[in-house]
């Protein structure tokens, strides 16, 4: 039943989160505010940004590129200093990260995209190592207090409701705490449901700018990637399993190999094109899920126009905050939860490096450990936590190494990983000794590197790797 807000509560940021069964939720407004946004051009909207402001920017395929362009030009032309920009992975060129603008802007990434990688490694930008399900806590607990939030939404419907579209993630938490909200309103933004819904009266400024969303189309999987996909689909994924997969050739290869599976479910951080064919074939039904039965749950959508058209006005896909979607306790409630993630390298004891190339930062924690742990503690005891990768890099180096490169970050510890998969097979690591782990991982490494790995394992462990206790 609808209720009215108490007098004086005129901002969505005034709402307080609450706890239910240990999970952090947001108490949403039941009525729109009794005011309208100020519709202006982008140049007028960004004038409110001043030196030393902390600006949150919505990311992924919902990156508000026109607002970023206007903000960058405004900051340079008005010689602003020390504007801090907080965001997850952004699409587009990120002009504020150019070396000549270093005195004006400093980017702080919660996940490093390719457009910020160079700036972070050159010291012109920063990165916060954090599990993605904990990001909203930074806002709710007031560790981060954005002055301004730049967001990207769908056009309002006849009641004035917009949608955060393809990127809910931590954006919902940011708009609840930001002092000012500036929205880029775009008719090409899909209207999604769940935590994505927001009334236009909560915007302080609104800019109408219609443009297609960035499209990410992968290349066809290689023979090696197809083999990895076939191994995982046939040996590890059961009928009725709930899936989490990212984007990329290996996830796409796995999904392509699932055409004969039945009653699969989806509870994933990123909803991608690879899942559409399985939905159309009737393989993904979500009917076996314990929570959100009949619906695919995600917090971001990233892919092609076909994907964006599919999620538009489609209640089959429920977009929820990342503090819920990526919470290991929620993930663990899904039946036969199967999480598939990748890595940059792995050592012979099972330590997984996924965020750096030695000391050089590459990406971030992301949701890897959120889902790896959630799958491992799956309530029905049939979850699977999988790290999948080709046995060698594009340069022919083994991805399984005696030790991680100097400075390489451990995202998933040797205690968390249960399965490692390459094109040469499956290594089951749960409950294995160091010697057993080394043996299992050497067996799925590339044959050209096995002898060297065996010698290195003997030097490191002072004994030969073996499959026996």
What would be the CATH architecture of the domain defined by 223-461?
Answer: 3-Layer(aba) Sandwich (3.40)
Q: CA-CA distances (angstroms) from residue 334 to 73, 240, 286, 321, 423?
A: 47, 10, 10, 17, 28
* CATH fourth-level superfamily of 12-208: Glutaconate Coenzyme A-transferase (3.40.1080.10)
Residue 66 near residue 184 (C-beta atoms within 8 A): yes
Q: What is the mean pLDDT of residues 45-57?
A: 97
Cβ atoms within 10 A of the Cβ of 143, count? 8
Rounded CA separation 395/325 (Å):
36
Q: In the prediction, which pLDDT does 8 show?
A: 33
Angstrom distances, CA of residue 228 to CA of 63, 199, 254, 316: 32, 45, 7, 29
pLDDT for 23 beyond 50:
no
Structure token digits, residue 449: 């590197």
User: What is the set of active-site residues?
Assistant: 269
Q: Does 129 score more than 90 pLDDT?
A: yes
More confident residue, 15 or 270: 270
Asked whether residue 105 carries a pLDDT value surpassing 60, the answer given is yes
Identical fold between 12-208 and 223-461 = yes
Terminal Cα distance for the chain, rounded: 62
Range of weakest confidence among 10-19, 73-82, 199-208, 333-342: 10-19
In the predicted structure, residue 28 carries a pLDDT above the cut 70: no
Q: Is the pLDDT of residue 2 over 70?
A: no
Rounded mean pLDDT, 444-459: 97
CA-to-CA distance for 227 and 250, rounded, in angstroms? 9
* Pair of tokens at residue 144: 């981060």
Q: What is the pTM of this model?
A: 0.91
Residues near 221 by beta carbon (within 8 Å), at least 6 away in sequence? 229, 249, 250, 252, 253, 256
Q: Where are the domains of the chain?
A: 12-208, 223-461
- 307: number of Cβ within 10 Å: 25
Chain centroid to Cα 116, Å, comes to 16
- Residue pair 360/401 in contact (Cβ under 8 Å)? The answer is no
Angle between helices 434-443 and 447-461 (to 10 degrees): 170
Could you write out the three-class secondary structure of 155-183? CCCCCCEEECCCECCCHHHHHHHCCEEEE
Query: Tell me, what's the pLDDT at 10?
Result: 38
CA 285/CA 316 separation, integer angstroms: 10
The span from the CA of 199 to the CA of 154, in Å, is 11
């Amino acid at each position: 039943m609808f209720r009215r807000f108490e007098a004086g509560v005129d901002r969505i940021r005034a709402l307080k989160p609450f706890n239910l069964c240990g999970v952090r939720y947001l108490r949403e407004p039941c009525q729109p505010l009794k005011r309208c946004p100020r519709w202006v051009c982008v140049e007028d909207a960004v004038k409110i940004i001043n030196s030393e402001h902390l600006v949150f920017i919505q990311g992924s395929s919902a990156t508000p590129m026109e607002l970023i362009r206007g903000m960058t030009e405004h900051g340079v032309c008005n010689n602003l200093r020390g504007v801090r920009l907080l965001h997850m992975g952004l699409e587009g060129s990120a002009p504020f990260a150019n070396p000549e603008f270093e005195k004006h802007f400093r980017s702080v990434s919660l996940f490093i995209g390719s457009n910020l990688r160079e700036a972070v490694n050159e010291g012109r930008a920063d990165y916060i190592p954090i599990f993605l399900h904990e990001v909203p806590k930074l806002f709710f607990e007031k560790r981060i207090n954005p002055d301004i939030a730049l967001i990207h939404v769908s056009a309002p419907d006849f009641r004035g409701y917009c949608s955060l579209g393809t990127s809910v993630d931590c954006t919902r938490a940011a708009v609840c705490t930001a002092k000012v909200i500036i929205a880029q309103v775009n008719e090409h933004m899909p209207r999604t449901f769940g935590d994505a819904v927001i009334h236009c009266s909560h915007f302080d400024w609104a800019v109408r700018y219609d443009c297609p969303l960035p499209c990410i189309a992968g290349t066809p999987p290689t023979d090696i990637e197809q083999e990895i996909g076939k191994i995982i689909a046939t040996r590890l994924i059961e009928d009725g399993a709930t899936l989490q997969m990212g984007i990329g050739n290996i996830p796409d290869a796995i999904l392509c190999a699932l055409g004969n599976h039945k009653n699969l479910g989806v509870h994933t951080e990123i909803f991608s094109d690879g899942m559409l064919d399985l939905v159309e074939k009737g393989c993904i039904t979500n009917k076996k899920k314990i929570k959100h039965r009949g619906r695919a749950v995600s917090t971001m959508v990233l892919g092609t126009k076909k994907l964006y058209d599919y999620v538009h006005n489609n209640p089959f896909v429920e977009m929820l905050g990342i503090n819920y979607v990526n919470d290991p306790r929620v993930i663990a409630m899904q039946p036969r939860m199967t999480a598939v993630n990748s890595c940059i390298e792995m050592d012979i004891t099972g330590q997984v490096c996924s965020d750096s190339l030695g000391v050089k930062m590459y990406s971030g924690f992301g949701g890897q450990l959120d889902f790896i742990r959630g799958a491992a503690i799956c309530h029905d005891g049939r979850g699977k936590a999988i790290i999948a990768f080709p046995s060698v890099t594009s340069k022919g180096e083994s991805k399984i190494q005696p030790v991680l490169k100097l400075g390489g970050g451990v995202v998933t510890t040797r205690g968390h990983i249960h399965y490692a998969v390459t094109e040469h097979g499956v290594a089951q690591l749960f409950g294995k000794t160091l010697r057993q782990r080394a043996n299992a991982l050497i067996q799925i490494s590339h044959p050209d590197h096995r002898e060297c790995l065996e010698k290195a394992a003997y030097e490191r462990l002072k004994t030969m790797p073996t499959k026996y206790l």
